[in-house]
Structures are given as structure tokens and as C-alpha cells.
Structure 1
Amino acid sequence: MITTLRHLLVDSWAGRAAALLIFLAFIGWGVGDVYSNMGTSGSNAIMKVGDRSITPDDLSRGLNAQLPQVAQQMGLADASHLPQAAREQAARQVLQNLITQNEVQAAAARAGMDVPDDVVRQEIFAIPFFHNAAGQFDRSILNERLTRIGMTEANLIRMMREDIITRAVLQGMGQSVQIPTSLTERLLSFDARQRVLDVLFIPLPTAPLVTTPTDAQLHRFYDNHPWDFRTPEYRHAKMVLLTQDTVARSIEVPDDVLKRLYEAQERTYNVPETRTLQVITFADEARADSAAVTWRKGLPWTDLQKQYSDAASVSLPDARESDIPNPELAKAAFSAPLNQVTGPVKTSVGWVVFEITTIKAPHTTSFDAAKADMTAQVQKQEAPQAVQARMKQFQDAVAGSTTLDRIPADLGAAPVAGTMDAQGMTKDGMPAPIPGNEALRKAVVARVFSQNKGAQPSVVNGPDGSAFAIFVDDVQPGTLKPFESVRAQVVQKWTAEQNRRIANERTTTLFTAAKSTTLAKAVAGQPEEGGMRRNVTLSRIHPDQSLPEAVTRAAFGNAVGKTAMLETPEGYWLVNVTSEKAPDPKDIHQLTSQLQSQYLQSLQSDIPVALNAAFEKEVPPTHINMSLFNQVVAATGAQQ
């Protein structure tokens, strides 16, 4: 997912053009002017690049366009189901893309670059969104659609001019890349060269031992392996944890703030009927009619898209009637029946065939019903800053409380106490009730078992900006269990060790013989001869899935003619590299174009990234407003 986002600007320039058209078509979808009143006029920018500003609306538009793609890549039908972490990562990448665009524009301005008016005019005339049914540019359509999406002609011209400059700078650098054939050949040889092996696996014995251990043998094993037969050490500790979640619950949110947020998110809480539809558009009616007949016969949507790959197809999840930029399609879609292929329908952009897959009734959420959700939103947004703001008070409180009994409740720190072992388990075998994620739990438990009993507590920085303090007030050392109480366990472990010893000795005997000759000769005439696999051929691109990873590593790590002995939980392996073969010509042919394409894409993306890094050194981004960034991400996520 992140790789796809990172390459959004530089991997596919046809894709950039398509993205611009989608942006023009959907720029008005639910964005509105939600952010125009956030903060003062002087602070209504997430970041500045020179004299250029990245506004909340810029980020919101980019994020609204990107989240459906991210959801599709993650196998989700609805972008509103994206995890918070995925939305935040997408927002950071969109912001980086906006920085790149603005850095390029600033660099172009410094270099005196400009785009002739006729080039901009040709680009705009070529956008299908502004064409009539005959496929020709129509100024009346341009005027009507710009008005509908709230964009002026001057803004459109500015956007197109900047997009042309961005493509000229970044694409020009990317297209200058050439792939060194010597490196490609070395990579192909490395991945495709084949190793030939003789392999023998000697499992641990499964039959019961004929001999029964004596009491003396069992007592000796018990004495030599005391760690296997001890009760765990338990410690009782007092803990105080300061995390974003604990602090969030202590943040009070005034009703007037919630009411403003409710008004700003009116689109979220007052939802008209929405429909999910799949649409495919054709230039002529005959092909559209043919597609409709094929679709009605039960052809799946994905297969229909492949069969009519020359047509424009799109899925619109949970769309409102006002969301659909094509008025003819909007009217038809919101009068069509559910789960029935409809069309062809003539529209200003062509003949459309579509199917409504879901219909959701309109619903309104009152302020009182939404209050808890909005409070949680604000608390979560403010929690990271609140944790940092309260950290000094937390440190002072811990320093002034030798037993952690005097930590102010209004700090939002969570006090916890309990007894646990080194794995964080209670004596009942349940996880100790430590708040936070798994990483924080592990950090807390590790501190409990590394801190001395009665030691002065101090603040420890945890994962994700958290902090905690520990006071260990009781240690219950582990004790050796009486022999008779664990006799059956001693017998079991003694038997397992004897089985492993027997397998080890037999494998070592064969290994010693193989070192002076070959594995095949060492096992010739031996009971294990029938179990040896001969002439196993593998390469890095065609590994043998039946072999453990350790055997594969030995195949490529050992010299030809050498034998290796490997231990696994199930037994022992002997691996003899008998020869090395040149790559299979079929593999070379298959990999060459694939590797060259991947390498070229990598270089084409990395060079513009490096170029932009140089631009950022020249004009570093300034006036970074992370609070406003977080507000946009939260509101955009809520609008999906």
C-alpha cells in the first residue's frame, strides 16, 4: 500500500493525467469549506513551501481521492472501514506529494520556467470531462461543470499549468534513466543459478526406548537441569502509565466545541439515501447494449471490466445523488431497482450501463446521539499533545512519590497494581491487567523484572509516546519443585534428550564419513540409504518448498562438494552440494523483462525523489501545523 502511495506522482504519467481528471470530476464531493474557519486566518495552513501554502482543503481533497484506492488495495469495499493507522499513513503520503508539487513549482519559478498559454489550452481541451456527446470540447459544458464543482476558470488554468510543469521536471528526470546491463545480468545470475543437492533427514526416534532410566539417572538429570523444574518468580508491582488513551479520557471537551464540530461534520451525521453502484461507460450505444446483455447473463463485474477494457468503468461506494457529477447518471441511478443491470442510458459523456449493489436509507444522528462519538474524536486528536504537555508534571509527581501513591488524578495517568511472572501472567494463568498495546505491556513487564525491589521509581519512556513508572514492593523467588512432584516430567525430558542424543550420534557418524568422501558414498549400504533424496535441484527463484529454510540457506552458503550437518526441532539434516548449474534459459527469458521493468521503475521513482530532496534543502517546508493536520485527517476519515 505505502509503495503504491509513494509512487503516485512518478511511476505512471498516464496515471497522473487520469488522477487529475478524477480530481476535477470529484473535487466537490463532500469537501465543501469545512476547514475555512479552523483557526485564525494566519494559521489556516498546514505547511508552507516558500511563499506557497498547503491548506487543509488541499490535504482533504487529496486524501478523499486517495482513500478509496487504499481501501481497494487492502481488500475493503468501503474506505470508512480503513484502520486509523492506514488513514494516517495515507495522509502523510498525500502531504508529501503536495510538498513535492509545491517544491517543484517553487524550483520552476526560480529557474524562470513557464508554460505557453496554447499548451495549457490544448491540455484543457483534451479533458473528456469537458467534451460533449460528439467527443468535442464544449465551452458551455466547461462553464457548467466548473460552476457545479465550485471552481473558477482561472483556478483550472493555474492547476493545469502547474501540473504540466511538474510533469516536465519530474518525468524528464525519470526518462533519462538507463539500466546498467552488467548489474541486470549479475542479478539474474544470482537469482536463477541452480544448486544440485543430496539431502538426508534423520528424524528423532519415535519408538519408546528399550531401556528404562534408573532413579540415579533421573536424579542426575533433575540436578543438571534445575531451570526446567522450578516455579516461576513472581513480583508484585505498583505501576502508573501515561498513554494517549489514558490521557484522552481525562480531557474535557466543552459543548460549544462539540456543536461546532457537529456543524462541520453535518455531512456525516445527516446522510440522505446512498447507493453503491458499478458503472461502465461507452462511446456508442451498440457496444453499451452488448455489455448490458452480457452483464445480465451473470458475468461478474471484474470479468466484465476485463472483457470491455477499452471502456471507462468505476465503482462508486455509498454515493449520494449529489455526489455523482454526471446528472443523467445520478437521476437514473437513484430511480433504478436494486441488483438489476440498468441501461444503456444516454448521458453527456456517453452511454452508461450500471448496477445498484446496495441501497442505504437516509438517516440523521442527533447532536446528543453523536456527542459521545465527537467527544472521543476530539479527545483522540488532542491526546498526543496533552501527553507531551503533561509529561513534566508526571515526571515531577513520580519524583515526589517514592511508592507511587501520590500521583495526581487529573494528570490522566492510570494506576495499576498486581502480581505477575516474567511473561506478564498472573498466578491464575491470565494476562496481568496492564493497559496499553502489546509493545507497552512487554516494556512494563521487562521493567518490573529488571528493577530492584524497593528502588526509587523513575519515569521510563515507552512506545508511541507513552511513559510509565514502576515500584516493585514484593519479590517471590522461584523455587525448585520436589523431585517426586515432577518425576513424570523428568522422565519425559530425559527420554526426549536420549532420543535427540541417539539421532545426533548417528548423524554425526554419517557426517564424519561424508566429509572425507560424499554423502552418497557415506550412506551407501546403510539403513538410511533409502531415505536420501538425490539430485535435488533448486534456485533462489525456485526453492524446494519441502525443505526447511535452514537447508535452503546451506544449499547456497556451502561450497560445491561440501557437506553440512543441520539441527532442527524434528531431527537432523545432512546436505551435500554436489554441483552447480547455469540458470535455466526459460527463467532468464522470463525474468529479464520483469527485472528490467522493476529496476527501471525503481530508478525512475528514486531519482525524482532525490531531486525533490534537493529542492527541500533549498526551500525547506516551514510553519508546520500538526494539530490542523490531525483535524483534517480525523474529519476526512469521518466523511468517508
Structure 2
Amino acid sequence: MLQFFRSFFKSKIGLAITFVFLGLIAFAFASSDVANTGMFGGVAGGERVAVVGDERIDSAELAQSAGSALDRLRQENPSLSMPAFIAQGGLEEVLDQLIARYSISTYAQRFGLRAGDNLINSEIRQIGAFRGPDGNFSADAYNQALAAQGLSDAIVRQDIGSGLLAQQMLTPASFGATIPRSLATRYARLFKERREGAIGFLPSGAFFPDSDPSAAQLQAYYQENRGDFIRPERRVIRYALFGEDAIADAIAPTDAEIAARYEENRAQYAASESRSFTQLIVPTQAAAQSIRQRVAGGASFEAVAQEAGFRASTLADQSRADVADDASPGVAQAYFAAARGAITEPTRSALGWHVARVDAVETAQGRSLAQVRDELAATIREEKRVRALVDLAAQIEERIDDGETLTAIAQDLDLEVRNTRPVTADGGIYGTQGETIAEEIAPVLATVFQMEESEPQVGEVARGETFAV
């Protein structure tokens, strides 16, 4: 049989038939290509789904608007899926909103209304979400906000421009609008209207069908209410937790680290003295000496200062360095040389002549390395723990980027791999009543529902304490 076909295709008649057949195949491909293009109103490939005036609404804009609408609804209903959104009429509603927006813009432009770039820019600058830390418009904040919502600058400007055109049209039309008096009168009479009647109760058992619904009835009901039977998006989570246990050997402080930290903060652990004073600053040494002599003789420091036309001030919990910085090293020396309750020797600074009474003296004994060892060890251990956890999370992310699997990483770090039952975006276990996901993985649930399948990521479960991969 094969030999027959080979001989036939080598003959002149066979060659002619072959070329005709190949031509038909080529024509069929060409026809299919033309039929599949969007030249005749198809919506594939970003072609139009509606036309308003000279403006086209293409499928790409419709898809982006539908996605944004779904994201907004998911803030209230995290388990809502795109099929359910479409089944509930969401896509038609989004398309109606787009058509209405384009209609208003087209109608406004037809009558000479405009929303220029400067007006749109001023509106953008007034939006609080686009302001930086200084309260002014920030291009970085603007771009980040658009990226978070999956929007482009052109789309945002178009939306704002349409809104401005709508304001220019609708605000004047609604200004001072009132309903007709005849309609208001009829509406007011409704509050005084009273009616009498009778109510008859029809028990459902009187007309309840005797037989079960047929397959056709069930199918018809399903088609009318199929949106109620769309299952929410659900995911099975496979994860491993890691925390301090994974780095316990690497965070123990050494004797050298504790000693080095003590040396760095030796001044903090040295003996210290702080004092409180009542002081007076006068312009001359003679005045300061006179005040000192009178107070030393038994007069009140405050009364002497008031008689001299001055007002005493108080300094609480001052160290020697504090006084030296505020006045001068000489003043500090005089203040800390006097005994408690004594009057200091007059000493000069850039402000004048100082004389003071020592009101209180507080001393703190110095602490040795042995005394603060536990305190330093706890501080160093906590610092190393936080740093080691962050480093480990970064290392795991690098291993994931290199293609390593969750199982391999868990085996290497001696982590337990756990699996959940199918869960929905709101944390519920699919197919159960009120059962929810384990608390240990709940904080990263939002991240899980943004991930691609079989592409692990590292998420923070408890800030600075526990991570999940």
C-alpha cells in the first residue's frame, strides 16, 4: 500500500493533486488567522469592548478595572474570587461604570469643558496619600501608591480628569434644585395616609410539591443561582517555622564579648555623684562675696537674693560634667568641693559670678565586671539573636532564589515541615463550620494568598522572634 502511494505522488497527476491539497491547507490557515484577529470586533488582544463617541474602551482597561474592583471588595471579603465576582454581575457593573465615565467626559468635551494638565496636577498634589514626611507632594510616594494599586500615571490622570469634568457638569445642574410643589404635597400626604385590609395566611404545606425536583429543574435552578455554588479560592500551606532554636548555638555571648562591652561602657559603671543646688549669678565678685557672707551668717539664701534684686534658681541632679558644660570647669569644681548645706566660694564664668547652696548630694557606687556580667550577657545575647535571625532569614531567601526546595532547607536546619488542610483567604478551613487555621501561621496568611504555587517565601510570624518559610 505504501509503495502505491509513493508511485502515485511521483506521477504528474499525483503531483498536481498534492499541490492543490497543500494550497487548500495554506488557505485554511490564512482564513483561520483572519477569523481570529480582532479586526471585526473581538475582545482578545486588547480590542474594544465598547465605544463612546470617538473613545474606545478596550479589554485591557476593562480587565484592569475589574481587578482593581475585586481588590477593593477583597478588603471586606478576602475569600471572594474572580469567578464569583463575575457571577455576581461585577464585570457588567464595572463596564457600566466605565461607559458612564467616558460618556460624561465625551459629553462635557462636546460643550467645551476641559480639564487641563495643570488642573489635574493641582488635584494630585492635594491628595494626602501622595505626600511625603514633610507634608508636601512626593513623587516617590505617588509612584509607590500607584504601584501598590496596580495603576499607571495615565489611568490616574484620566480618572481625575473625568471626575473634574463631571464636577463641572453636575454641580451647576444640581445647584438650587428643588422638587415641584405638587410632588412635595403628595409626598407629605403619605405620612397621614391610613389603610385597612385583611391578611390571609397560606401555609407552605398546602402547595408543597409531593415529588422531588427533576434533573431539569435542578439544572435550571443551578444555572440561575450558579454564583452561590462557586467555591472560594483555597490553598494548602506547607511551611516550616524557625526562631531562636535554630540559632541557639550562635548567640551565646563569650567572655571576650562581655569584657569588651564593659570596657566600651566603663564610664556608665564607674562611681558617680550628682548634686542639687540653689544658685545665684551676680555681675561682680564683691556682690557675690557679700551674699555668701550674709548667708553663711545665718540669713536665708532666697531672702538675701531678693533683697539684692535677684532671683535664685534651682539645679536638680547635676553631675560635675553638667555644671562644667553649662557654666565652667571652675564653677563645677567649686560646686562639688562644698559640703552638703554649705555655700560655695564665688567663682566666675562667662555669665557672671556664681554662688550656690548645696541642697542634696547623691552618690552611686561603681560596679565591677562581675557585678554587671549577667546584665551585659543578656544585652549581647538579645542583640546577637535579632541579628542572627535576620541573617538566617536572608540566607534562606538566597537558597530559595537558587532553586533549593523547602524540604531540603528544612532537613538542613532540622526544621519540622507542617501541612494545613485547604484554607480560604479569611483563615477558615474549607468545608468546616467555624474552624480556623493555626495561630502560628495566621500572621502570614495574606502573604500566602499572594504567592505563586510551589514558590516558597520567607515571612515574619512574630516580629523579631519567629519566621516561616
Is this a same-fold pair by TM over 0.5?
no
Q: Normalising to structure 1: TM-score of the pair? A: 0.24
- Bigger radius of gyration among the two: 2
Q: Which structure would you say has the larger RCO, counting Cα contacts within 8 Å and 6 or more residues apart?
A: 1
Q: Normalising to structure 2: TM-score of the pair? A: 0.32
